Amino acid sequence: MWTKKAVLMISLGVVCLLLGLIFRNILLMALSISIFVYTVVGLFSSKVKNIRPERQLSHEKIFEDGVVKVELRLLNEGGRTGFLEVRDSLPTQLQLKSGSNYTYLNLNPKGVTKLRYSVKAPIKGVFHMGPVTLRSHDTFNLYFSELKMKYESLLTVFPQTRDVKELYIRSKQPKMYPGEMRVKMPGPGAEFFSIRDYMPGDPFKDINWKAYASTGKLLVNEHERESVSDVTIVFDSRATSNYGMDSDNPNLYGARAAATLANFFLKRRDSVQLVIYSDKVTTVKKGSGQKQLYELLTGLAGTDPKGDIPLSGIVDVALPYMPRRSPIVVISSLDEDESLRKAVSTMMVLEFDVTVLSPNSVDFEIMARKKQKKKKDAMVDPIAFEVLRLEREILLQELRSYGVRIIDWKPETPLTAILLEARNT
């Protein structure tokens, strides 16, 4: 690319050439030709095309707020480069923690240099690091040559999970796998659950003789049933989940909630499947164990708020593959979806145990506008937002009338407190 000095030099060359032709002055014509030759040769003799970059990341997959160390190695496979400007492009969502992704250097033939820095990833997503931009100037700074090398690395940032002690979300028809887990229900097992009256057919080994001695009645010990459940998490990643700011919106909060719930259910040895709907439907088939958690987190990390597929479409497509009477956790802001009532009604008719965790998009938008007070279009109209709150509350009450457990999640409330509310509902 030409600098202002280069334009002036070219203009000077043209003037010298014209004057040389007018006055038939050989010296002026020679000077103009020298200027043209210098600039043209300099323009096409790029010093950066023989640089080969290699990038290494300390981790390719991390959780939110994690730090990644980056090492960019530059190898000169050509001649001398002179002084070069090097910039390793980073997504705006990543924060430079230490070091620098920009440097100014001079590489000898076959020379190698390393650029080291670290970045912090505050929000989930799949980020492309790169390209590497190289820029060199000529000796007199008349022009510069710039090359963007499409050398990129992928960094996957999983949504953060929180530690949850207990949730009373279980299947009404748990599968029997002896020794797998306890589900707070009487049945075959080793852990004590309760004492009840003796009934004909109860094994004598279960009789509580101490209780019989004190009460004179035959009582038997019940043990905690051991089984596993199938749990389905439905995550709304439509465009309407992007209300608020990049760092605080229903999509981001919902992904963290889905990751936390999945981690809890899998630790409880349940079988978990994930259904994400945005502009398309993405399904992570049910499974258990750490490998399943990795698959679920990867699916959540790659979700972007887009599309407008209704919940009823998910119910129609996914319900045939969901175990009947099993728990379904829907994470959605419940905005701009006329099919909500039909979808929830269908799930309740089929006797699914439905819990809706709903990030409050109205409060997210108010919070975002309050943080942008200087902008005229960011003013908060209290009447308009009060109407939106009222409409949302009417919708939630109507959905509760179907027998659905609804949790209204305001942005200032921590996730653990919201899940505690789900436990006590």
3-state DSSP of 94-152: CEEEEECCEEEEECCCCCEEEEEEEEEECCCEEEEECCEEEEEECCCCCEEEEEEECCC
Amino acid 142: pLDDT: 60
- pLDDT (mean) for 223-228: 56
CATH level 3 topology of 51-158: Immunoglobulin-like (2.60.40)
Q: How does pLDDT run across 359-369, given as a tens digit for each residue? A: 998 888 888 77
Closest CA relative to residue 49, chosen from 180, 140, 137, 145 = 145
Q: How far apart, in whole angstroms, are the C-alpha atoms of residue 369 and residue 412?
A: 15
List the single range of 62-66, 113-117, 211-215, 349-353 with lowest mean pLDDT.
211-215
Higher-confidence residue of 138 and 276: namely 276
- pLDDT (mean) for 63-79: 89
Share the mean pLDDT of the chain.
81
- pLDDT (mean) for 252-257: 93
297 - beta bridge partners? none
Task: Indicate if the pLDDT at residue 308 is higher than 70.
Answer: yes
Task: Indicate if the pLDDT at residue 76 is higher than 50.
Answer: yes
**How many residues in total does the chain contain?**
425
The DSSP letter of residue 298 is H
Burial of 181 (0-12, 13-18, 19+ CB in 10 A): middle
Q: Tell me which amino acid residue 351 is.
A: E
Task: Indicate if the pLDDT at residue 38 is higher than 60.
Answer: yes
Task: Indicate if the pLDDT at residue 122 is higher than 50.
Answer: yes
Give CA torsion, residues 349, 354, 357, 362, to 10 deg: 10
Amino acid 183: pLDDT: 46
Q: How does pLDDT run across 371-387, given as a tens digit for each residue? A: 776 555 556 677 887 88
Task: Indicate if the pLDDT at residue 125 is higher than 90.
Answer: yes
Span(s) in the chain for CATH 2.60.40.10 = 51-158
Containing 224, the helix (H) or strand (E) segment is: strand 219-226
Q: In the block, which residue shows the tokens 């190698």?
A: 112
Contact in structure between 243 and 364 (CB atoms under 8 Å): yes
Q: How does pLDDT run across 129-145, given as a tens digit for each residue? A: 989 988 877 655 666 67
Q: In the block, which residue shows the tokens 């924060």?
A: 95
List the single range of 105-114, 150-159, 256-265, 347-356 with lowest mean pLDDT.
105-114
Span(s) in the chain for CATH 3.40.50.410 = 230-424
Task: Indicate if the pLDDT at residue 224 is higher than 70.
Answer: no
> In angstroms, what CA-CA distances link 352 with 130, 379, 402?
46, 42, 12
Amino acid 34: pLDDT: 77
Question: Which band of pLDDT confidence, cut at 50, 70 and 90, is reported for residue 184?
Answer: very low
Give CA torsion, residues 205, 211, 216, 222, to 10 deg: -50
Q: Hey, how many other C-beta atoms are within 10 angstroms of the C-beta on 87?
A: 16
Q: How far apart, in whole angstroms, are the C-alpha atoms of residue 187 and residue 205?
A: 15
Q: How far apart, in whole angstroms, are the C-alpha atoms of residue 236 and residue 276?
A: 6
359 - beta bridge partners? 409
Task: Indicate if the pLDDT at residue 292 is higher than 70.
Answer: yes
Widest pairwise Cα distance in the chain: 132
Amino acid 40: pLDDT: 66
- pLDDT (mean) for 285-289: 87
Task: Indicate if the pLDDT at residue 95 is higher than 90.
Answer: yes
- pLDDT (mean) for 218-233: 74
Give CA torsion, residues 170, 173, 176, 181, to 10 deg: 10
Sheet of 219-226: strand order equals: 182-186, 219-226, 192-197
Whether this prediction's pTM lies above 0.85 is answered by no
Per DSSP, the residues of 23-42 read: HT-HHHHHHHHHHHHHHHHH
Task: Indicate if the pLDDT at residue 36 is higher than 80.
Answer: no
Phi, psi angles (nearest 5°) of residue 399: -70, -35
Question: Which band of pLDDT confidence, cut at 50, 70 and 90, is reported for residue 44?
Answer: low
> In angstroms, what CA-CA distances link 281 with 99, 270, 274, 288?
41, 23, 10, 21
Task: Indicate if the pLDDT at residue 205 is higher than 90.
Answer: no
Amino acid 48: pLDDT: 63
Amino acid 351: pLDDT: 84
Backbone angle region of 70, left / alpha / beta, with phi > 0 → left and psi within -120 to 50 → alpha: beta
Contact in structure between 325 and 173 (CB atoms under 8 Å): yes
Contact in structure between 189 and 182 (CB atoms under 8 Å): yes
Q: How does pLDDT run across 259-275, given as a tens digit for each residue? A: 999 999 998 888 899 99
Among 39-48, 187-196, 269-278, the range with the most confident prediction by mean pLDDT is 269-278
Q: How far apart, in whole angstroms, are the C-alpha atoms of residue 325 and residue 218?
A: 35
Q: Which two tokens stand for residue 387?
A: 């109407």
Question: Which band of pLDDT confidence, cut at 50, 70 and 90, is reported for residue 422?
Answer: low
Question: Which band of pLDDT confidence, cut at 50, 70 and 90, is reported for residue 172?
Answer: low
Closest CA relative to residue 284, chosen from 249, 310, 258 = 258
Provide CATH code, domain 230-424: 3.40.50.410
